[in-house]
């Protein structure tokens, strides 16, 4: 079975983080690393967080892979950039940059998604007092993304079986052949999802209860402090040139 985005059942392993902390970390990754440059050493600490989290969740293989890719990208950027120029130089630089910028976010997203259940996610958002106009579509979306990807893959396989490839025909026809079946399947699945969720009381008039243990512990406070300090470091480096 394909990996679900947002589990339906939880395995008790490693560090137990409140889903809100994970969300905060994810946003921190997105804001500071994805859209910024590595300005202060604090950014490197932030990038190391997914690595530590993966280790604590006993996902050794993934942690090692992340570390290797990240250090690889780092060394490429530091050592190769001054020496190369032109097309190969540009390609390598682009690759290194993509690695450094997107990897922490992706890995953090992977961590969040494989250690949080849909129930916990919805409960956390309710605690944040986000309106249900936002939380319900969000949880449906996350539940739905892997379905869409799976359909895309299935359609690709079906096309291959019939000998219809990407090359040779006009791009517009290819698009139609791929997108339309995917959407039809997705909508049908969506309707089933809808029925299942409504049966379970999603969107009902009463406040939703759950048995997830959510609450802030010491590890959450530490990680949240880390996020705040990154924010502070960012503000400092913008205003003062203080070298932290």
Partner 1 sequence: MNRLQGKDFINIGIFTAIYFVIIFAVGMIGFIPIFIPLISVLVPLIGGIPMMLYFSKIKKFGMLTITGVLVGLLMLLTGMGYWCIFTGFLFGLIADFMLKAANYKKAWSEILTYGVYSVWTVGAFIPIIVTRDAYYEKLLSGFGQEYADTLMGYMPDWILPVLAIACFVSGIAGGVIGRKIFKKHFERAGIV
**Residues within the interface to partner 1 (CB under 8 A):** 26-27, 30-31, 34-38, 81, 85, 89-90, 93-94, 97-98, 100-102, 105, 109, 132-134, 136-141, 143-145, 148-149, 152, 175-176, 179-180, 182-184, 186-188, 190, 193-194, 197-198, 202-204
> How many residues are recorded in the chain?
244
Write down the least CB distance from residue 85 to partner 1, Å.
7
Residue 113 C-beta: closest distance to partner 1, Å:
12
- Closest to partner 1 by CB, 45 vs 148, is 148
65 vs 174 by CB, closer to partner 1: 174
H or E element that contains 241: none
User: Residue 17: which of 117, 144, 143 has the closest Cα?
Assistant: 117
Round to whole Å and give the CA distance between 145 and 170: 28
Nearer to partner 1, 64 or 169 (CB): 169
Nearer to partner 1, 61 or 204 (CB): 204
Question: Cα dist. 25→80, 131, 148 in Å?
Answer: 31, 21, 26
Residue 232 CB coordination number (10 Å): 12
């Amino acid at each position: 079975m394909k990996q679900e985005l947002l589990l339906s059942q939880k395995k008790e392993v490693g560090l137990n983080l409140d889903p809100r902390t994970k969300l905060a970390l994810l946003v921190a990754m997105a804001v500071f690393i994805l859209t910024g440059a590595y300005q202060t050493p604090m950014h490197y600490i932030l990038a190391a967080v997914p690595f530590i989290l993966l280790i604590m969740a006993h996902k050794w293989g993934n942690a090692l892979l992340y570390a290797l890719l990240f250090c690889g990208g780092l060394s490429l950027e530091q050592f190769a950039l001054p020496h190369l120029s032109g097309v190969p130089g540009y390609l390598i630089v682009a690759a290194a940059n993509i690695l450094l910028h997107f990897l922490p976010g992706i890995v953090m997203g992977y961590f969040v998604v494989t250690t949080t259940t849909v129930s916990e996610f919805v409960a956390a958002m309710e605690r944040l007092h986000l309106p249900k106009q936002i939380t319900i579509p969000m949880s449906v979306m996350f539940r739905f993304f892997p379905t869409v990807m799976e359909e895309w893959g299935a359609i690709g396989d079906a096309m291959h079986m019939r000998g219809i490839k990407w090359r040779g025909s006009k791009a517009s026809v290819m698009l139609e052949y791929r997108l339309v079946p995917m959407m039809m399947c997705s909508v049908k699945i969506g309707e089933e999802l809808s029925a299942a969720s409504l049966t379970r009381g999603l969107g009902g008039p009463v406040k939703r209860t759950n048995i997830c243990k959510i609450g802030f512990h010491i590890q959450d406070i530490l990680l949240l402090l880390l996020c705040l300090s990154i924010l502070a470091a960012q503000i400092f480096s913008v205003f003062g040139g203080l070298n932290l």
